[in-house]
Amino acid sequence: MREGMDAITQAWVDAGLQLSKDPTLKITCPECGKGTLVCLDEPTGDPKQSDRYMICSDCRKWNKVTIDNPVN
Ligand SMILES: [Zn+2]
How many independent structural domains does the chain possess?
1
Q: Which amino acid is at 43?
A: P
The answer as to whether 2 is a domain residue is: no
β-pairing, 62-68 with 49-56?
antiparallel
Q: Is residue 8 very low, low, confident or very high in pLDDT (cuts 50, 70, 90)?
A: very high
> What DSSP state is assigned to residue 16?
H
Rounded distance from Cα 47 to ligand 1 centre (Å): 31
The answer as to whether 15 is a domain residue is: yes
Domain range for 17 is 7-68
The answer as to whether 20 is a domain residue is: yes
Residues with CB under 5 A from ligand 1 (ion): 29, 31-32, 35, 56, 58-59
The answer as to whether 35 is a domain residue is: yes
The answer as to whether 1 is a domain residue is: no
Give CA–CA dist 62/72, Å, rounded. Answer: 29
Contacts of 66 (CB under 8 A, 6+ apart): 44, 49, 50, 51, 52
Rounded distance from Cα 8 to ligand 1 centre (Å): 11
Q: Summarize pLDDT for 45-64 with one digit per residue, the tens.
A: 999 999 999 999 999 999 99
The answer as to whether 49 is a domain residue is: yes
Rounded distance from Cα 39 to ligand 1 centre (Å): 13
Rounded distance from Cα 14 to ligand 1 centre (Å): 15
Residue 30 DSSP SS3: coil
